[in-house]
Amino acid sequence: MKKETKILHSIEPDLLTGAISTPIYQTATFVQDSPGVHRGFDYGRTNNPTRAVLEKLIATLENGSHGFAFASGLAAIDAVIKLLNSGDQIVAVDDLYGGTWRTLNHIYNRLGIQLVRVDCSDIRNLKASVTDKTKLIWIESPTNPTLKIADIKEISLIAQEIGALLVVDNTFASPILQNPIDLGADIVIHSATKYLAGHSDLIAGLVVTRNSELAEQIKFIQNSSGAILGPFDSWLTIRGIETLALRVHKQCDNAELVAQFLASHPLVKRVNYPGLSTHPNHEIAEKQQSRFGAMISFSLKTDSVDAGSIVCSSTTLFKLAESLGGVKSLICQPALMTHKSIPQDVRHAAGIDDSLIRISCGIENADDLIDDLKQALNKI
Ligand SMILES: *Cc1c(COP(=O)(O)O)cnc(C)c1O
């Protein structure tokens, strides 16, 4: 069965009533038949039938065996970090999502978990950085905001060799384009806030694994820490996922055309998009993704914060906002928004130019999106 079909038909009609739309079980507790004897559900933090449908759905989509839904992407990330012990080390991609970096650097560092960041687009950097303390390798591919690509399969072999777990934050690709578990990852994370829910209307996070021992530990952490996704947001996420394949393919169609337009524009210095043959790891992206995604970043020949600001403030269809993956196109300037707290020299070293602009292509008409960028670039 192909993915589009599998998504829709792995959401079963409600067993109790036949409802084709998953019911929202808005309840805190479940009445037991006799003390300790219940129908699979005892308390809403531990389990909920609506959340259970979402958890099964994401496990199916990522070719895993167990899924877990959390109150945000960062709550999902937090649960996975809690698999570690004080004294353990995490080796991660250098342009890690800012929130992941913040929790590792400001909270878990204090609790004795050390973070080492390396540019994983060259596997030799990673090989040189792992030690016997490395218990987790943390990858994003493509990364934010420079769209670097890491070879997930090669990295999974390194993880296996040193006995570390490989975690892949698959938010940017979505399960339509890339399935890290098939490439050797132990754990996949999503900020479901982005492509999965897809309408910029909620905050949610998901974790998937195919390893039942790991699943048991994650379930224990989910229940013990309690950052679960509520029934209504679980339902909205299920509803969003029903159209995931349609949306992501249209978004990729748009991004491919927008990237070509930007690459040929005289005021644009560089376009970061894994689908362009000029991308340094284009071949790896082609090998591990079915398409190249709908995130693009680009910098301007006039590389100043002001020039970038003019473009970001002049688009009308691309709305100026953080976040990504929704049906409406978004634009942002990392140097002034998501990456403002990072010192300029560190930012530059990571390839985040002052004028760098990141866009998330939505499902509008591609010609309209290109016209919008064209008139905004003319304002410089
Ligand atoms: C947004 C995002 C997160 C955090 O998710 P929230 O739902 O905002 O908590 C983690 N990783 C990546 C790659 C993201 O884009």
45 an active-site residue?
yes
**Active-site residue flag, 127:** no
Q: How far apart are CA 80 and CA 14, in angstroms?
A: 31
pLDDT at residue 35 tops 80: yes
**What is the per-residue DSSP string for 171-239?**
TTTHHHH--GGGGT-SEEEEETTTTTT-SS----EEEEES-HHHHHHHHHHHHHH--BPPHHHHHHHHH
* For range 155-163, the mean pLDDT: 97
74 C-beta closer than 6 A to ligand 1 = yes
Q: What is the pLDDT of residue 202?
A: 98
Distance CA 223, CA 48 (A): 12
CA atoms within 13 A on the CB side of 229: 34
**Nearest-atom index, ligand 1, CA of 74:** 9
Q: Is 72 in the pocket of ligand 1 (CB under 6 A)?
A: yes
Ligand 1, from 81, 94, 171: best to mutate by most atoms within 8 Å of Cβ?
Answer: 171
Helix (H, G, I), strand (E, B) or coil at 137: strand
Spatial neighbors of 29 by CB under 8 A, at least 6 apart, are: 42, 43, 44
User: In this structure, are residues 145 and 358 in contact, taking their beta carbons and an 8 Å threshold?
Assistant: yes
C-alpha pair distances (Å), 275 with each of 147, 151, 251, 264, 279: 10, 15, 13, 15, 7
Tell whether ligand 1 has an atom less than 6 A from the beta carbon of residue 191.
yes
Q: What is the mean pLDDT of residues 32-38?
A: 95
Q: What is the pLDDT of residue 340?
A: 83
Query: Which pLDDT score is estimated for 351?
Result: 87
- CA-CA distance, 239 to 12, in Å (whole number)? 13
Q: Is the CB of 140 under 6 A from ligand 1?
A: yes
Q: How many CB atoms lie within 10 A of CB 145?
A: 29
**Mean per-residue pLDDT, 64-73:** 98
- What tokens does 344 get? 């300029």
CA-CA-CA-CA torsion sign (227, 217, 112, 148): negative
Per-residue pLDDT tens over the stretch 227-267: 999 999 999 999 999 999 999 999 999 999 999 999 999 99
Judged against a pLDDT cut of 90, whether residue 342 lies above it is answered with no
Q: By percentage, how much of the chain surpasses pLDDT 90?
A: 94
Q: Choosing from 45, 153, 239, 328, which is the catalytic residue? A: 45
Q: Which of 136, 151, 237, 141 is nearest to 195 (CA)?
A: 237
Instruction: With a cut of 80, say whether residue 6 has pLDDT above it.
Output: yes
The predicted-structure confidence for 105-138, as pLDDT tens digits, reads as follows 999 999 999 999 999 999 999 999 999 999 999 9
Strand partners, 139: 168
In the block, tokens 């065996």 appear at 65
Residue nearest to atom 5 of ligand 1 (CA): 73
DSSP structure class, residue 37: B
203 lines ligand 1 (CB under 6 A): yes
> Counting atoms of ligand 1 from 1, which one is nearest the CA of 77?
10
Active-site residue, 250 included: no
Q: Which of 94, 151, 169, 372 is catalytic?
A: 169
CA of residue 316 to ligand 1 center, whole Å: 25
273 is catalytic: no
First CA to last CA distance, the chain:
49
d(CA 326, CA 329): 7
Please indicate whether residue 184, judged by its CB atom, sits closer than 6 Å to ligand 1.
no
Distance separating alpha carbons of residues 44 and 42, to the nearest angstrom? 7
Answer yes or no: is the C-beta of 99 below 6 A from any ligand 1 atom.
yes
pLDDT at 341: 77
Phi and psi based region of residue 135 (left: phi greater than 0; alpha: psi -120 to 50; beta: remaining): alpha
Nearest CA to ligand 1 atom 9: 73
Predicted pLDDT at 343: 81
Compute the half-sphere exposure of residue 19: CA atoms within 13 Å on the CB side of its CA: 9
194 Cα to the center of ligand 1, angstroms:
8
Q: Among 148, 194, 210, 247, which one carries the catalytic annotation?
A: 194
Residue 142 to residue 67: CA distance in whole angstroms: 22
Cα separation, 356 vs 271, whole angstroms: 9
Taking the CA of residue 75 as reference, the ligand 1 atom at the shortest distance is 9
What is the C-alpha to C-alpha distance for residues 244 and 70, in angstroms, rounded to an integer? 19
